[in-house]
Amino acid sequence: MSLLVTLVTETEELAPLLMPPLAFAGIAVAVFVLLGFITWSFRDVANRHSNKTAKSGDAHHGAGH
């Protein structure tokens, strides 16, 4: 256990953090919320243009399709 404590204290002295740990967590949460909002905003996009994907759309196409 003392080796772990020694390593933690030594690495903290060599490379201090740029921000407090809670700031890193806040940035991560903000990024995930932003990505979640972007994903949510594109919901149901395929159904907006149902005339392009409809099964009954074969009437206006040629018989060779």
For the stretch 12-47, pLDDT in tens is 555 677 899 899 999 999 999 999 999 999 888 877
| 9 within domain boundaries | no
What per-residue confidence (pLDDT) applies to 3? 83
Q: Confirm whether 37 is domain-assigned.
A: yes
Please give the tally of structural domains in the chain.
1
- Angle ∠(45,47,37) on CA atoms, nearest 5: 25
Domain presence at residue 13: no
Whether 26 maps to a domain, the answer reads yes
* CB of 57 closer than 8 Å to CB of 51: yes
Domain that holds residue 30: 19-43
Residue 63 pLDDT? 54
Whether the predicted pLDDT of 59 surpasses 60: no
Residue 52, domain member (yes or no)? no
Predicted confidence at residue 38, as pLDDT, reads 95
